Structure 1
Amino acid sequence: MVELADLVNKLKAAGEGTRLRLLALLADGDHSVKDLTEILEQSQPRVSRHLKLLADAGLIQRYAEGAWAYYGLAQHGEGAAVARWLIGRLDAQGVERQRDIARQSAVRSTQQAKASEYFAQVADSWDLLRTLHVPEQAVEAAVMEALEGRVVDLLVDLGTGTGRMLEVLSPCYRRGVGIDSSREMLAVARSHLASAGIIHAQARLGDIAELDPAIGPADIVMLHQVLHYFDDPGRMLAEARRLLKPGGEMLIVDFAPHDLEFLRTEHAHRRLGLSQQQMSGWAEGAGLRVAAIREFPATDDNGLTVCLWRLSDRT
């Protein structure tokens, strides 16, 4: 139970129109301050003040990432409970709420369009770009080890890119499906799969933010260097979770937190790495748990540490 004074403080922090709108937006996934100013059509200082009040009251959390900061609902404690209770009583069909949802969708669409434009430009050299900052061989070997020699019925690779993981893991599945929103990337993926003689995998055009559940149910869902392209990785995990069959697993490869701002400005990254705490919270929100973690440190001072997370049902 929460102390009276603390509860009053939380209710005061939430008891304002813009702050309630912010809570509702953050319930749909993490956002940067820039996103929220565009959605609410308010100034950055004004939105920042509202966010600080909500954060100080424990209703939301702040994640600093280089020059940017992201905000999301509190995941635990009384602040999380109060925030969820308030959001549950908002009219989802209200005019203002529907307007915020439409603007939120437009902001996300713009971000995805920018990412798609980037992928189209680098499709032919994508695998080479990845080798510049990722210990690929060690990570790929670890992913193989995580499958423990199994041969599963269906493996789904979300954000498949050039189809590299479908190629590497081809001995581990009877049927593989790679999903990507970039036609240029898919053209490269299909070429790679054909050249390797892999006929039990296919690459499909699709939006991993709005997956068709009919793609599954999958034994394994793979997200290889995908989540850092999204402002709200938790939302992507929850969407991917819908494809898993009972007892299925999710394998995620991504960067640990870093401060290489050029990856955001020049390579369309939205998140500068993912922390263990963030991944645990996102997994819990998707009905999963972090079963195992492996880290692959950078080979030099300016490099990036890569993490492999293995997620399974919380039950």
Structure 2
Amino acid sequence: MPEQNSLSLDAGLAVLRAVAEETRLRLVSLLAESELTVKDATAILGQSQPRISRHLKLLAEAHLIRRYPEGSWVYYRLGDGAEGAFARDLVARLQASDPVLVADRERFEALRRAKAEEAARYFASKARTWDEERSLHAADSEVERAILAALGPQSFRSFLDLGTGTGRLLELLSDRYDTALGIDASHDMLAVARANLARADLGAAQVRHGDIYALNVPPRSFDVVAVHQVLHFLEDPARALAEAARALRPGGRLLIVDFAPHGLEFLREEHAHRRLGFSHDQMKSWLQGLDLDLEQVTDLAPRAEETQKLTVTLWVARDPRIITDLPVADPNREVA
């Protein structure tokens, strides 16, 4: 076993003690499928909140799981280190047909369906507004093809999607990355994204509530960072780009997708746009100020007769620092 996935004797004993109880083993089995809140776990296991919270605390103290606060809620997920690897291996060895685990999975799937229906209702309530805005520029399919072309066919280890929204980029690039994190300021949109990721069975991706101006991720921890149709909503786009650049590993790439300059003032009043697009020169200046090399610019312009449509621009910049053999930060580790 590789050293980084090995446990010391004390850590091994702590892990074994933590899982040597039925409720905690059931929790680990569920968390191998998806992240959960205390409320989720109480509904599935039919136990009190204090009891579930205590079991989760013991699992967290043994580093088998990790906790991610999101407003008044806390999401739990299996750890990413040696303890997490042990937990996943243990779950893989459990008998899938065990009646207790089968019942847990059935209740879990029912809970997922209920959440997906709730997310769908929220999405439907916003659909008219989004459809109106999407009609003003190139089709989503065209933009997505351009994103795939801009990033190229090569795979990468870690992906950070800022302003993840429905989690669409996490789905689109799922065959390119090993792990991915989507961050959004809207709890409602995160519910939609979680439902979409669950439906697509994307266990390598997770989403978290966060502030694009103050990312709670370690520096130099992502190979690709995307800021897709987000900057025009922000009062200070340059500050958000600085945070995105901070998260890039040496040699990592920053993908920005947004509108070229335009004069559709109604987007300020009806769609909360703060900026009416960004010029090539403006973006180049911001990226140079962050010591990033602008490698590619792609404009998806409307046809000449479509005078009320917007141009979508894709910028790809790279961190020119040389990749070294220094240890790389865990992209899923929270920082203070």
Q: TM-score range by the shorter chain?
A: 0.5 to 0.7
2:140 maps to 1:134:
no
Distance in 2, matches of 1:207 and 1:127, equals: 22
**Secondary structure of residue in 2 paired with 1:292:** strand
Which digits, 9 at most, give the CA deviation of each residue in 1:94-149, with x for residues without a partner?
Answer: xxxxxxxxxxxxxxxxxxxxxxxxxx898752764553223211111111112221
**What are the within-5 Å matches in structure 2 for residues 178-197 of structure 1?**
178-197=182-201
Check the 8 A contact 2:166/2:190 in 1, yes or no: yes
Q: Which residue in the other structure is 1:305 paired with?
A: 311
After superposition, what is the alpha-carbon deviation per residue over 1:64-92, rounded to whole angstroms, capped at 9, x for unaligned? Answer: xxxxxxxxxxxxxxxxxxxxxxxxxxxxx
**Shift in Å, 1:274:** 0.4
CA contact (8 A) 2:251 2:320 kept: no
**Partner residue, 1:6:** none
Of all paired residues, the percent bearing the same amino acid is: 46
With over 3 angstroms needed to count, the CA separation of the structure-2 counterparts of 1:201 and 1:128, relative to structure 1, is farther
Q: 1:249 to 1:123 in 2, by over 3 A?
A: farther
Report the Cα distance in structure 2 between the residues aligned to 1:233 and 1:289, rounded to whole angstroms. 18
Residue 266 of structure 1 aligns with which residue?
Answer: 270
CA apart distance, 1:272: 0.2
The AA in structure 2 aligned to 1:200 is A
SS in 2 for 1:302: coil
Alpha-carbon distance in structure 1 between the residues aligned to 2:194 and 2:219: 18
Q: Secondary structure at the match of 1:213?
A: coil
| Distance in 2, Cα, partners of 1:287 & 1:247 | 12
Say whether the 8 Å CA contact 1:238–1:286 is kept in structure 2: yes
Q: Is residue 123–residue 162 contact of structure 1 (8 Å, CA) maintained in 2?
A: no
Change (3 A) 1:130 1:160: farther
- 8 Å contact 1:211–1:239 — kept in the other structure? yes
CA 133–122 in structure 1, closer or farther in 2 if over 3 Å, else same: farther
Deviates more, 1:212-221 or 1:180-189: 212-221
* Alignment correspondent of 1:218: 222
Asked whether the 8 Å contact 2:219–2:246 carries over to 1, the reply is no
Partner of 2:255: 251
User: Structure 2, unaligned stretches of length 5 or more?
Assistant: 1-121, 322-336
Q: Are the equivalent residues in 1 in contact too, given 2:220–2:250 (CA < 8 A)? A: no
Instruction: For residue 304 of structure 1, report the CA deviation from its aligned partner.
Output: 0.4
Amino acid at match of 2:278: L
Separation in structure 2 between the aligned mates of residue 281 and residue 123 of structure 1, nearest angstrom: 38
For residue 286 of structure 2, what is the aligned residue in structure 1?
282
5 Å-filtered alignment, 1:71-110, equals none
Looking at structure 2, the residues matched to 144 and 288 of structure 1 have their Cα atoms a distance apart, in angstroms, of 21
Structure 1 residues 121 and 189: alpha-carbon distance in aligned structure 2, compared to 1, 3 A threshold: closer
Aligned pair in 2 of structure 1 residues 280, 314: CA closer, same or farther (>3 Å)?
Answer: farther
Does the aligned pair in 2 maintain the 1:123–1:188 contact within 8 Å? Answer: no
Q: Match of 1:168?
A: 172
Aligned letter for 1:273?
G
Task: Please state how far the C-alpha of 1:192 moved relative to its aligned partner.
Answer: 1.0
- 2:252 is equivalent to residue 229 of structure 1: no
d(CA) in 2 for partners of 1:164 and 1:278?
Answer: 27
2:226–2:256 Cα contact (<8 Å) kept: yes
- Distance apart, 1:150 and its partner CA: 1.3
User: Structure 1 residues 231 and 265, CA, compared in 2 at 3 Å: closer, same or farther?
Assistant: same
Aligned-residue offset at 1:314: 4.7
Contact 1:249/1:313 (<8 A) preserved: yes
Label 1:273 to 1:153 Cα distance change in 2 as closer, same or farther (>3 A): same
| TM-score normalised by length of structure 1 | 0.59
In the alignment, what sits opposite 1:199? Answer: 203
Matched pairs, number: 196
TM-score (norm 2): 0.55
Partner of 2:257: helix, strand, or coil?
A: strand
CA distance in 2, matches of 1:171, 1:134: 27
Amino acid at match of 1:246: P
Q: Which has the larger radius of gyration?
A: 2
Q: Please report how far the alpha carbon of residue 247 of structure 1 lies from its aligned counterpart in structure 2 after TM superposition.
A: 0.4
- SS at 1:235 equivalent: helix
Task: Show the counterpart of 1:110.
Answer: none
- Kindly report the root-mean-square deviation, in angstroms, between the aligned alpha carbons of the 2 structures: 2.0
